[in-house]
């Protein structure tokens, strides 16, 4: 994606990692396995315990009622109860294998994330059975955050209560839009009445943090409707709101249709999508919310944090489980195999970890990864990188920062040596942050396929 792009073309994507996934290889799998097989500092050397990065657990639940026409995630629809049971069994067995790894010894999970797909697609019975089996191998009693992604139409009052009882602290609800016509056009399985019905149960359960996802630029979006979306979201008063700008990676239903028929983009232009997010940020701020990243506003930053995002963006370890999940352990990136049969048979028949590709980033690549991910929060603390990587990021990327400052996207600190010197994105910069990141990639990764 370029900062100059206007039309939402097929092939755009979010940057969520570095180096690009296309560079990870099966040849590097032994590196990931050996990282997992290495004792963490707390056991081998107690003095290193304090230096260990936080550890998170990600579990991928790849089922959905319907495939949304804009979605690029690895999801399966029309899956029967028997197939779900097989998947849940494989996931639990994968967790038991992971739990036996030396890297796990003596370490607590700081955060847990059930993502998808749609974790809330699981029935109450399937959920309870999954959690019972998981708890035989791992515990997240000490975790500061347990996130669970939900699609409104999959919830019931009892399911919401069970989620609370199972320790979910952060429930994230994929509302996306309040217009039934737009929801239907984009292939969502739910309508707005299901949002309101679910909201009563969610409010009653009193989760510490409820997040609502919206998308700026769904097909059929208008200014008038967008303003209503923001008003209706404010009326629900969630702890946080995440607003994505619609991307069209190659594997969405819309992208495939556009390529086949050589038709014009059905999605609003980037300047329009940015205007919609700018408007939303302004209205939320007028109502007491604060901007916490390029995609998120929070009602009370002193009470509501987002441990998964903040730790991941500061280089934490993440044990990723489930089909096609990606994680990072002991300095190595890895991703599980994305094929259904292969994922199941590697675990259930061969009883081994289903890692499909991996990559050991250099120190410079870890620095770039953290820098581009943290830039999505809107600021970089220069001292943080000096301490952690012994690099002055202002000096190292001087020409890139100066060019972005001249474009009006960043504000550079007056005294770059000060402890609190921050590089700050302007609102214009924040709204297009994904387009600013490639400039920091090493030259050989600038024009390669991303995934």
Ligand X SMILES: C[S@@+](CC[C@H](N)C(=O)[O-])C[C@H]1O[C@@H](n2cnc3c(N)ncnc32)[C@H](O)[C@@H]1O
Q: How far apart are CA 281 and CA 431, in angstroms?
A: 10
Q: How far apart are CA 348 and CA 424, in angstroms?
A: 49
Which residue number, 249 or 331, has a Cβ lying nearer to ligand SF4? 249
Contact partner at residue 244 from ligand X, ligand SF4, none, CB < 5 to 8 Å by partner kind: ligand X
Burial 381-414 (b: 16+ CB within 10 A, else e): bbbebbeebebbbbeebeeebeebeeeebbebbe
Contact partner at residue 247 from ligand X, ligand SF4, none, CB < 5 to 8 Å by partner kind: ligand X
Residue nearest to ligand X (CB): 174
What is the binding site for ligand X (CB under 6 A)? 64, 70-73, 115-118, 149, 151, 174, 176, 213, 215, 244, 246-247, 252
What is the spatial order of strands in the sheet that 240-245 belongs to? 290-291, 296-298, 240-245, 209-216, 170-176, 145-150, 111-116, 55-61, 317-321, 326-329, 332-336, 355-359
Place of tokens 């099966």: 26
CB of 234 to ligand X, least distance (A): 18
Q: How far apart are CA 148 and CA 171, in angstroms?
A: 5
Which residue number, 36 or 318, has a Cβ lying nearer to ligand X? 318
Residue 118 binds to ligand SF4 (criterion: CB under 6 A): yes
Which residue number, 99 or 219, has a Cβ lying nearer to ligand SF4? 219
Contact partner at residue 54 from ligand X, ligand SF4, none, CB < 5 to 8 Å by partner kind: none
Span from 62-70, 219-227, 352-360, 439-447 in contact with ligand SF4 (CB under 6 A): 62-70
Which residue number, 145 or 151, has a Cβ lying nearer to ligand SF4? 151
Contact partner at residue 67 from ligand X, ligand SF4, none, CB < 5 to 8 Å by partner kind: ligand SF4
The two three-digit tokens of residue 182, written as one number:
């737009």
CB of 71 to ligand SF4, least distance (A): 3
CB of 131 to ligand X, least distance (A): 19
Q: How far apart are CA 59 and CA 112, in angstroms?
A: 8
Contact partner at residue 59 from ligand X, ligand SF4, none, CB < 5 to 8 Å by partner kind: none
Which residue number, 77 or 438, has a Cβ lying nearer to ligand SF4? 77
Q: Please identify which residue in 9, 11, 49, 67 interacts with ligand SF4, judged by CB under 6 A.
A: 67
Q: Please identify which residue in 28, 61, 68, 298 interacts with ligand SF4, judged by CB under 6 A.
A: 68
CB of 73 to ligand X, least distance (A): 6
Q: Is residue 400 a contact partner of residue 436, using CB atoms and an 8 Å limit?
A: no
CB of 339 to ligand X, least distance (A): 20
Residue 117 binds to ligand SF4 (criterion: CB under 6 A): yes
Residue 248 binds to ligand SF4 (criterion: CB under 6 A): no
Q: Of 165, 169, 162, whose CA–CA distance to 143 is shortest?
A: 169
Residue 151 binds to ligand SF4 (criterion: CB under 6 A): yes
CB-neighbour burial class of residue 136 (10 A; exposed 0-12, middle 13-18, buried 19+): exposed
Q: How far apart are CA 178 and CA 230, in angstroms?
A: 9
Q: Please identify which residue in 19, 53, 174, 354 interacts with ligand SF4, judged by CB under 6 A.
A: 174
Q: Number of residues in contact with ligand SF4, rule: CB under 6 A?
A: 11
Q: Please identify which residue in 20, 116, 119, 354 interacts with ligand SF4, judged by CB under 6 A.
A: 116
For 48, other C-beta atoms within 10 Å of its C-beta total 12
Which residue number, 33 or 437, has a Cβ lying nearer to ligand X? 437
The dihedral of CA 87, 83, 148, 234: what is its sign? positive
Q: Please identify which residue in 64, 312, 318, 323 interacts with ligand SF4, judged by CB under 6 A.
A: 64
Residues that bind ligand SF4 (CB under 6 A): 64, 67-68, 71, 73, 75, 116-118, 151, 174
């Amino acid at each position: 994606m370029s900062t100059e792009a206007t039309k939402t073309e097929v092939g755009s994507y979010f940057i969520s990692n570095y180096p690009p996934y296309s560079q990870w290889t099966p040849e590097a799998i032994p590196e990931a396995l050996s990282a997992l097989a290495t004792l963490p500092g707390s056991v081998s050397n107690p003095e290193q315990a304090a230096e260990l990065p936080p550890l998170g657990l990600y579990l991928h639940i790849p089922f959905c009622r319907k495939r949304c026409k804009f979605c690029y995630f690895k999801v399966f629809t029309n899956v029967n109860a028997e197939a779900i049971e097989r998947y849940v069994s494989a996931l639990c067995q994968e967790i038991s294998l992971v739990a036996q790894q030396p890297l796990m010894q003596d370490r607590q999970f700081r955060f847990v994330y059930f993502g998808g797909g749609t974790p809330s697609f699981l029935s109450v019975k399937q959920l309870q059975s999954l959690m019972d089996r998981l708890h035989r191998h791992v515990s997240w009693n000490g975790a500061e955050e347990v996130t669970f992604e939900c699609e409104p139409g999959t919830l019931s009052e009892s399911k919401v209560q069970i989620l609370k009882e199972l320790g979910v602290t952060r429930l994230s609800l994929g509302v996306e839009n309040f217009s039934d016509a737009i929801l239907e056009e984009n292939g969502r399985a739910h309508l707005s009445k299901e949002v309101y019905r679910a909201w009563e149960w969610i409010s009653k359960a009193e989760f510490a943090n409820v997040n609502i996802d919206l998308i700026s630029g769904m097909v059929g979006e208008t200014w008038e409707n967008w303003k209503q979306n923001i008003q209706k979201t404010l009326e629900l008063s969630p702890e946080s709101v995440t607003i994505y700008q619609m991307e069209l990676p190659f594997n969405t239903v819309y992208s495939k249709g556009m390529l086949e028929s050589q038709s014009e983009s059905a999605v609003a232009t980037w300047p329009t999508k940015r205007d919609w997010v700018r408007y939303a940020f302004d209205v939320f701020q007028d109502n007491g919310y604060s901007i916490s990243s390029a995609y998120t506003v929070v009602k009370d930053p002193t009470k509501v944090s987002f441990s998964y995002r903040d730790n991941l963006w500061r280089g934490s370890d993440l044990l990723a489980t489930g089909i096609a999940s990606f994680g990072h352990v002991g300095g190595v990136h890895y991703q599980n195999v994305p094929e259904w049969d292969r994922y199941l048979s590697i675990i259930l028949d061969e009883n081994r970890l289903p890692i499909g590709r991996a990559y050991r980033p250099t120190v410079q690549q870890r620095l770039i990864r953290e820098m581009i991910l943290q830039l999505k929060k809107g600021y970089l603390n220069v001292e943080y990188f000096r301490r952690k990587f012994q690099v002055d990021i202002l000096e190292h990327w001087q020409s890139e920062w100066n060019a972005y400052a001249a474009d009006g996207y960043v504000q550079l600190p007056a005294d770059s040596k000060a402890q609190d010197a921050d590089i700050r994105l302007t609102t214009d910069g924040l709204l297009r942050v994904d387009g600013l990141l490639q400039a920091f990639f090493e030259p050989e990764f600038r024009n390669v396929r991303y995934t």
